[in-house]
Amino acid sequence: MARQIAERLKPCPDLRVKAWTSRRDRGVAVWLEGLVDPDRLQEALVSLRERGCEGQASENPGVPSEEVRTITAAVRAVLDGYAVIARDGASGARAWRLSAAPARSVERSENEPTLHGPQEAFIESLAVNLAMVRKRLKSPRLKIETFTVGETAPCDIAVLYEAGLAKPHLVREVRRRISQIRVDYVADSNEVREFINDPRFSVFPTTEETERPDRVVAGLMEGRVAIIADGSPTCLMVPVTFAMNLSSPEDYYMHYSLALPLRLLRHLMFWSAVLLPALYVALVTYNQDLLPTPLLVSVAAQHAGIPFPTIIEALGMMTAFEALREAGTRLPRAVGQSVSIVGTLVIGDAAVRAGLVSPGMVIIVSATGVASFTLPALGLVQAARLLQFPFVLAAGLFGLYGVLMLGMALLGRMASLRSFGVPYFAPIAPTFIRDMKDVIVRAPWWMMQGRPRQFESVERERVPQDAAPAPKKTTWWRWRP
Amino acid sequence: MTTREAVGKRRRAISAAVLCAVLVTGCDYNDIDHLYIATGMGVDRGRQGVRLSMDLVQPGGAGNPATGDSSNAQGNAPDRIVSAEGATFEEAMSTLQAKLFHALYLQHNALVLFSEDAVRDFAPIADALERNRQLRRSQLWVVTPMSAESVFRESTGQREPISLVIRDLVDEASRREACLASDELHVVKALLRPSGVAPLAAVDEGPDGLPEIQGLAYLRRDGKLDIVDRAQLLDNAWWLGRTLDVREAVPWSDGGHRGVIGVHWLRTSTRRVVDTSGGSPRLRVVWRGTGEIERWQASEAMSAEAFTALERAIREDVEHRLARALDHVRAVDMDAFGLANACSEKGIALHPGAWKYIPVEYDIEAHLIHGQLAATTPFARGTEGGAGSS
């Protein structure tokens, strides 16, 4: 068996084969160096040698193991970080789970940072990620199903849901879509997302992507389904709505009165990120009558001497801003921050002084960038970044009319999107009045006893009616000296 | 035809309509660089007919955030005046456009300044202004006794276009005397009513070269103009509506002392009520005001008798002012206070000029707030108005 495994994997300098003998049997252990914990393997082999004839030779009570019956399964086990223990004369072998694959430790979330609440984030190990979810959700109803995807390099994909909460049809649909994925290997959960998305072409994220276990647990408790791919530090949650992309975990970790203005601000900022440059271009090139006179005079003064039409100026600045943002992302962090600051301050200032762009345009493009930074969902940020370009083109070619027409088309498209059957604009369109408590505003927890109606969870109430807290009543406290 | 074909056909038709509409909108493209933004228009009587003076913004001038105070090739003025003449308003406008190498942009025009001469031939000018679709109906119509062009050209030292300075000047004044808010919509509306007279703000160039409110101008539909100077502004303003935050010096005598009492009117309002019970119409002018005694230069607290006397003096003063203003408009034969309008609202059609003979009675009530706000100073005795209770 060892020879056959080596034959399949060669050339493979990190493959290790070690013979072992006991009182009755002898055989070989095969594993890949670096994927197996050498100390535990040594202990297990010593234990195997000493136990001798007790039980099946390759079984070790101290080590979890699986039986492998074919060479293909044995190779897969070796690649998965198992140590395959083969006995001479036996038709099968045991795969000992002694994995010690290199993985980073659990760290703070970098893409979804919050000031309050839990801070830990997923890593690239599926086992660790599942453990992090289990640690937070100690529920016997939490179900985890594993699928293997990838023809050349199989990858484990875990589907998590809370039995009795998630709609069975939803779970079935997730299973169906994942089982239909045909890909040679899975590099990241994004591949899974693109395969299981409802719309084939859409800039809007119809699956929620998160690296925070607390967010996953919150989603599971709403009757949604989580999908985690091995090797990916992010988890996908389905279904998702547009409004959910504008809510941050922090909204639930701070007082609801503070969450209200922040939610409103994010809604405003999303549309600002999409429309602000387009509105500026439309107002400056077509609809100057809508500007107050002092502002128009100021804009005209700023624009005097600029050699480009406003639309070219806007597209140029937006492209430059995107290039700077991309450079800041790709470069090492320390250098990237410097590039962003230098780009924004020095290049912007130099461009204004050189008379290439107007100060107003710099302000507009910068404000658009800042607006996009306020959005908690990375997918929505990217959508806003993409959408601002066609809107600017429409504004430059057709004025406010073009912006209006494109805006209506965009709203129509958004309203037609579905995420695993759930309308993307729910609970706004279609309207679920009860679920409005957690859309633009975030109601106090004691008012949100029901689960979101649009997900059609089996149990609609978070706690049984008889165990629900009594409605808040004003208690008259009288001071008695 | 199947449903699918019908839907496809409808979709194509809608797309074609939208595309056409979209392409048509593209014709309005006009970048801000290629506009001459007009903020004010002066209308004078010229040799050929109408002389127009446009106040155009100079984007590179002073007072803008891009250039600060630095001068440039165009000079440091925030605006420049371009004038042209023509037999008609439209011809003058065409001649003016011919002098400019960018399109004249009138949608931000905030002011039309008529000279006294220009309004003599008011109807064709008003007609042209009303017809022009670029002009906003909210632009102020203001009158000057001198040349509108000279008011524009000779005002110096401004950090913003002169027409915006005049607009702000009138806006600020109309915050106190509402009748000065003479925007085009209100003026035209007043001209079309039975009285046919509209009040307009009158501005003039002050001794320091800056424009200032000269008073109130009454413009009749036929172009007759009468300017009431600033000394009588309050009398007329009380007739024409509400006033806020105005001050008045009321003549006052008590205990052998004579002087004036400063009254700060927080708000006043005037209503005209036509009484038809006696057969012929009678007009009752209901004046209500709330004010505070601002300058009570007495050494002692105000007694009840003194207060009653003061109220009586104020009532007499207000009545005197209203009567004086009415006498003036009767004398110039302009129904500026809308007596014919008031009768018309009651269904009474007056003969031309009959409004002058309508009996008028005054119902004046002044609500005075005194005490806390009345102040004395150590210099009260030495000042002219140092009278008070004794």
Q: Long-range contacts made by residues A193-198, C-beta under 8 angstroms, separation at least 24?
A: A193/A236, A196/A227, A196/A236, A196/A238, A198/A417, A198/A418, A198/A419, A198/A420, A198/A421
> Stretch B78-94: mean pLDDT, rounded?
93
**A286, A290, A293: which to substitute to probe chain B, counting the most B Cβ within 10 Å?**
A293
**Which of the given ranges, A46-50, A250-254, B83-87, has the highest pLDDT on average?**
B83-87
Contacts of A402 in chain B (CB under 8 A): 22, 25
**pLDDT tops 70 at residue B73:** no
CA-to-CA distance for B120 and B45, rounded, in angstroms? Answer: 9
Binning pLDDT at 50, 70 and 90, where does residue B23 land? Answer: low
* Interface touch A296/B30, C-beta < 8 Å: no
What pLDDT does residue B16 have? 82
**A281, A296, A357, A404: which to substitute to probe chain B, counting the most B Cβ within 10 Å?**
A296
**pLDDT tops 70 at residue A458:** yes
CA-to-CA distance for B63 and A464, rounded, in angstroms? Answer: 68
Q: How far is B34 from chain A (nearest CA, A)?
A: 10
What pLDDT does residue B212 have? 92
Q: Which of A83, A69, A66 is nearest to A32 (CA)?
A: A83
What pLDDT does residue A60 have? 65
* Interface touch A401/B25, C-beta < 8 Å: yes
Cβ contacts of A42 within 8 Å, gap of 6 or more: none
Helix B304-331 crosses helix B233-240 at what angle (to 10 degrees)?
A: 90
Least confident of A111-115, A175-179, B131-135, B154-158: B154-158
**pLDDT tops 80 at residue A478:** no
What pLDDT does residue A472 have? 61
Binning pLDDT at 50, 70 and 90, where does residue B285 land? Answer: very high
Least confident of A5-14, A66-75, A305-314, B37-46: A5-14
What pLDDT does residue A175 have? 94
Helix (H) or strand (E) segment spanning residue A8 = helix A2-9
CA A247 remoteness from chain centre: 14
Cβ contacts of B44 within 8 Å, gap of 6 or more: B50, B51, B52, B53, B115, B117, B118, B147, B148, B149
Q: Is A450 helix (H, G, I), strand (E, B) or coil?
A: strand
* Interface touch A300/B105, C-beta < 8 Å: no
> Stretch B63-77: mean pLDDT, rounded?
49
Contacts of B22 in chain A (CB under 8 A): 397-398, 401-402, 405
Q: List the single residue in B with minimal CA-CA distance to A312.
A: B31
What's the mean pLDDT when you consider all of chain B? 84
By Cβ distance, the residue of B26, B29, B37 closest to A297 is B37
Binning pLDDT at 50, 70 and 90, where does residue B124 land? Answer: very high
What pLDDT does residue B257 have? 67
**Burial of residue B165 (number of CB atoms within 10 Å: 0-12, 13-18, 19+):** buried
By Cβ distance, the residue of B26, B39, B64 closest to A398 is B26
By Cβ distance, the residue of A303, A358, A398 closest to B25 is A398
By Cβ distance, the residue of B37, B61, B67 closest to A296 is B37
Least confident of A65-79, A400-414, B12-26, B221-235: B12-26
What pLDDT does residue B386 have? 45
CA-to-CA distance for A439 and A423, rounded, in angstroms? Answer: 14
**pLDDT tops 50 at residue A415:** yes
What pLDDT does residue A475 have? 61
Binning pLDDT at 50, 70 and 90, where does residue A405 land? Answer: very high
Report the percentage of chain B scoring pLDDT > 90.
55
Where are any strands of DSSP class E within B103-170? Answer: 103-105, 111-115, 140-144
Binning pLDDT at 50, 70 and 90, where does residue B343 land? Answer: very high
Q: How far is B25 from chain A (nearest CA, A)?
A: 5
* Interface touch B32/A296, C-beta < 8 Å: yes
Q: How far is B276 from chain A (nearest CA, A)?
A: 48
A54: alpha, beta or left? (left if phi > 0; alpha if psi -120 to 50): beta
By Cβ distance, the residue of A300, A309, A310 closest to B59 is A300
Q: How far is B125 from chain A (nearest CA, A)?
A: 23
pLDDT tens-digit profile of B322-336? 999 999 999 999 999
Contacts of B164 in chain A (CB under 8 A): 293-294
- How many cross-chain Cβ pairs, A to B, lie less than 8 Å apart? 87
* Interface touch B37/A298, C-beta < 8 Å: no
By Cβ distance, the residue of A285, A286, A302 closest to B66 is A302
* Interface touch A300/B65, C-beta < 8 Å: no
What pLDDT does residue A471 have? 62
* Interface touch B35/A288, C-beta < 8 Å: yes
Instruction: Judge whether A407 and A276 are in contact, CB under 8 Å.
Output: no
Report the percentage of chain A scoring pLDDT > 90.
37
* Interface touch A299/B33, C-beta < 8 Å: no
**pLDDT tops 50 at residue B299:** no
Q: Is A361 helix (H, G, I), strand (E, B) or coil?
A: helix
Q: Which of A359, A202, A364 is nearest to A272 (CA)?
A: A364
Is the predicted ipTM greater than 0.85, yes or no?
no
What pLDDT does residue A160 have? 95
pLDDT tens-digit profile of B248-275? 888 877 666 677 788 889 999 999 999 8
B68: alpha, beta or left? (left if phi > 0; alpha if psi -120 to 50): left
* Residue B182 at interface with chain A, using a CB cutoff of 8 Å: no
* Residue B101 at interface with chain A, using a CB cutoff of 8 Å: no
By Cβ distance, the residue of B30, B57, B61 closest to A285 is B30
Residues of A with CB under 8 A from a CB of B: 284-286, 288-289, 293-294, 296-306, 309-310, 358-359, 397-399, 401-402, 405
pLDDT tens-digit profile of A6-40? 788 878 888 888 888 877 778 888 888 888 888 88
> Stretch B29-52: mean pLDDT, rounded?
90
Binning pLDDT at 50, 70 and 90, where does residue B301 land? Answer: low
Q: Which of B308, B318, B307, B294 is nearest to B375 (CA)?
A: B294
CA B55 remoteness from chain centre: 19
Binning pLDDT at 50, 70 and 90, where does residue A53 land? Answer: very low
* Domain residue ranges of chain B, discontinuous segments joined by +: 30-230, 241-382
Report the CATH number of the B241-382 domain: 3.30.300.210
Q: List the single residue in B with minimal CA-CA distance to A305.
A: B33
Q: Which of B252, B261, B253 is nearest to B294 (CA)?
A: B261
Instruction: Judge whether B126 and A309 are in contact, CB under 8 Å.
Output: no
Q: How far is A402 from chain B (nearest CA, A)?
A: 7
Q: Is B269 helix (H, G, I), strand (E, B) or coil?
A: strand
Length reported for chain A: 481
CA-to-CA distance for B186 and A158, rounded, in angstroms? Answer: 73
Identity of residue B313:
A
Its pTM stands at: 0.79
* Domain residue ranges of chain A, discontinuous segments joined by +: 2-96, 126-240, 252-419
Q: Which of B200, B41, B29 is nearest to B132 (CA)?
A: B41
CA-to-CA distance for A122 and B251, rounded, in angstroms? Answer: 86
More confident residue, A52 or B91: B91
Least confident of A97-111, A154-168, B8-22, B270-284: B8-22
**Burial of residue A205 (number of CB atoms within 10 Å: 0-12, 13-18, 19+):** buried
Contacts of B73 in chain A (CB under 8 A): none
**pLDDT tops 50 at residue B151:** yes
Least confident of A116-130, A389-403, B144-158: B144-158
**Which of the given ranges, A131-135, B296-300, B379-383, has the highest pLDDT on average?**
A131-135
**A286, A297, A405: which to substitute to probe chain B, counting the most B Cβ within 10 Å?**
A297
**pLDDT tops 60 at residue B63:** no
* Interface touch B107/A310, C-beta < 8 Å: no
Q: Is B64 helix (H, G, I), strand (E, B) or coil?
A: strand
> Stretch B8-37: mean pLDDT, rounded?
78
Cα three-residue angle A137-A138-A143, rounded to 5 degrees? 75
* Interface touch A301/B59, C-beta < 8 Å: yes
What pLDDT does residue A180 have? 92
What pLDDT does residue B370 have? 62
pLDDT tens-digit profile of A380-400? 999 999 999 999 999 998 899
**pLDDT tops 50 at residue A55:** no
What's the mean pLDDT when you consider all of chain A? 86
By Cβ distance, the residue of A286, A302, A401 closest to B22 is A401
* Residue B40 at interface with chain A, using a CB cutoff of 8 Å: no
| CB environment B228-248: b (16+ within 10 A), e (fewer) | beeeebbbbbbbbebbeebeb
What pLDDT does residue A476 have? 65
**pLDDT tops 60 at residue B373:** no
- Do the strands B103-105 and B35-45 form a parallel or antiparallel pair, or are they unpaired? parallel
Q: How far is B282 from chain A (nearest CA, A)?
A: 46
What pLDDT does residue B26 have? 59
**Which of the given ranges, A446-460, B28-42, B220-234, has the highest pLDDT on average?**
B220-234
